[in-house]
Amino acid sequence: EVQILESGGGLVQPGGSLRLSCVASGFTFSKYAMIWVRQAPGKGPEWVSGISGSGYAADYADSVKGRFTISRDNSKNTLYLQMNSLRAEDTAVYYCGKGHQEWNSGYYYMDVWGTGTTVTVSS
Amino acid sequence: EIVLTQSPGTLSLSPGERATLSCRASQSVSSSSLAWYQHKPGQAPRLLIYGASTRATGIPDRFSGSGSGTDFTLTISRLGPEDFAVYYCQQYGSSVKTFGQGTKLEIK
């Protein structure tokens, strides 16, 4: 059974940093893209970033480009999201998802999601 | 960026009824690269449909997806009590992946 578990969320001040982690099991981790999606209160989901199974390709939403960095450690079946220069508008539940293929040139959907971790940016 | 507009915002139906949810794109979605997800409070979102019309593994056949170009539909033929949730569409045919704002399916 595929399982995904996010951690690392919390309360952080504007301008601060946070690193999210996502541990996956039940599939060959290195063969699939992994994705971060967030959902602010009362809004629809927003794609944040994705990374290929090998880790050599990644993409970002414009809203986080230059501030967030996605990475993965295939030896630990773990995905990360380093979030710097956080803003109030980054407040959301952050979901980790398994991509349906290794990368597919960056055209992917999520076939399994975690339950999310909450990030609150506030002074 | 492709904007997805879902309608209605809220749909009130009774168990056993048929539900029809719409997702309209601001421009054509390449290769029918559209997915539907179901989300219940406190749970992980669940993939229902990909490629506009292909059911994901383990999804009951009362769920069906259709459409192409800019207009897509998710149909639930006979609502079960477990189907009341929020439904989102997502397009993945462009480099900027986008989601709709959701349709809440509630018990009438």
Contact A113 B44 (CB under 8 A): yes
B80: pLDDT strictly greater than 90: yes
Residues A82 and A71: beta-carbon distance below 8 Å: yes
* DSSP letters for chain B: ---EEEE-SEEEE-TTS-EEEEEEESSPPGGG-EEEEEE-TTS--EEEEETTTEEPTT--TTEEEEEETTEEEEEESS--GGG-SEEEEEE-SSSS-EE---EEEEE-
> If you average pLDDT over residues B85-103, what whole number do you get?
97
Provide the pLDDT for residue A104.
86
Average pLDDT over chain B, rounded to whole? Answer: 97
B86 pLDDT exceeds 90?
yes
Q: What is the predicted pLDDT for the residue at B31?
A: 83
CB-count exposure of residue B107 (10 Å: 0-12, 13-18, 19+): exposed
What pLDDT score does A106 carry? 86
Which pLDDT belongs to residue A102?
A: 86
| Cis previous bond, B8, omega within 30 | yes
Mutate to test the interface with A, among B29, B33, B53, B92 (most CBs of A within 10 A): B92
To probe the interface with B, which of A35, A59, A107, A117 has the most B CB atoms within 10 Å?
Answer: A107
% of chain B surpassing 70 pLDDT: 100
pLDDT band at A8 (very low <50, low <70, confident <90, very high): very high
- B32 vs B18 pLDDT, higher one: B18
Chain B partners within 8 Å of A61 (Cβ): 96
